[in-house]
Amino acid sequence: MLGKAPNAALWSGLFTHLTESWNNFKGLDPNYTTWMDIMEKHGYRTQKFGKLDYTSGHHSIRFILIYIVGEIILALRQLDLLQKTIVIYTSDHGELAMEHRQFYKMSMYEASAHVPLLIMGPGIKANLQVSNVVSLVDIYPTMLAIAGIPLPQNLSGYSLLPLSSEKFKNEHKFKNPHPPWILSEFHGCNVNASTYMLRTNQWKYIAYADGVSVLPQLFDLSSDPDELTNIATTFPEITYSLDQKLRSILNYPKVSASVHQYNKEQFINWKQSVGQNYSNVIANLRWHQDWQKEPMKYESAIDQWLKTHTIQTKLEQK
């Protein structure tokens, strides 16, 4: 665990310092265009009925991103580095942009969980589209394979090189093939239950918490790409099969219980560290506008949540 100074920025202790670039851009015009300049120029903020129009904002960001990627490719070509460089274009998450009447990320719906993955460079077949489901955890072993570095044992991901050409496919024919599914799980902010997704080419199975207290979802992406109809109860055999497969990969009810126990313990530690200033601090975090609607009600809900934790802990100690 990396330590950080008491007044350091949030998350700053999670990462090591970046290594120095081999090209430090000495002599660069100090007035060069920044990404903030581009966002302002192309009107990221648009107003609609007095509120931010998230859909238009999302489209604006996509335009900016395409422009920036084009600039990177152009620079590599001008420096005669494009034919010597592996370029990977992807994202850590998508954007709901008001699909399912939601915005932001942290969802297993396609708009959030499905991201582009484009790879170009020496040895990669051009204009090849792969329909197999793959995951971001596959990027690390893929980069090792491209560099000719043996893959460590017990990696979560798989090299994608066998999917990129017949040559690589034949070389890896009898080696650890990519399974026909991918797993995703989320335990972060803005959700009140751990979420798990098992995705195949056709099916998407989403389970929550212990798999019982919140009903699961099943979508047939071949006929319902917008994920509008939950067919978990319509196809119980498929639902059961995918749930069993998910449980064989990880015991998600146990993981969920562990995560929520940890969350409560850490919240108690944080509350104790804040001391008498707790009410003021929690009212001025990033959700402060919503919190001010009924602050005492929200504090009471948290207290009830923590009491449940205390009761469970005492029972376990007995």
* Domain boundaries, given as residue ranges, for the chain: 117-179, 255-317
Answer whether residue 80 shows pLDDT above 60: yes
The secondary structure of residue 179, as a DSSP letter, is: P
The values of phi and psi at residue 105, to 5°, are -130, -135
Predicted pLDDT at 9: 46
Answer whether residue 34 shows pLDDT above 70: no
Answer whether residue 78 shows pLDDT above 70: yes
Rounded-to-integer distance, Cα 265 and Cα 310, Å: 9
Rounded-to-integer distance, Cα 200 and Cα 216, Å: 16
Q: Could you report the per-residue pLDDT of 36-45, keeping only the tens digit for each?
A: 555 556 544 5
Q: Decide: 203 and 218 in contact? Cβ < 8 Å.
A: yes
299: closest CA among 285, 315, 313?
285
Report residue 94's pLDDT band, with 50, 70 and 90 as the boundaries. confident
Rounded-to-integer distance, Cα 204 and Cα 190, Å: 22
Residue 267 DSSP SS3: helix
Answer whether residue 3 shows pLDDT above 50: no
Residue 245 identity (one-letter amino acid): K
Q: Could you report the per-residue pLDDT of 226-250, keeping only the tens digit for each?
A: 999 999 999 999 999 999 999 999 9
Predicted pLDDT at 228: 93
Element of type H or E holding 242? helix 236-249
**E strand map for the chain:** 47-48, 51-52, 87-89, 118-120, 182-186, 195-199, 203-208, 217-220
Rounded-to-integer distance, Cα 35 and Cα 297, Å: 42
98: closest CA among 49, 154, 54?
54
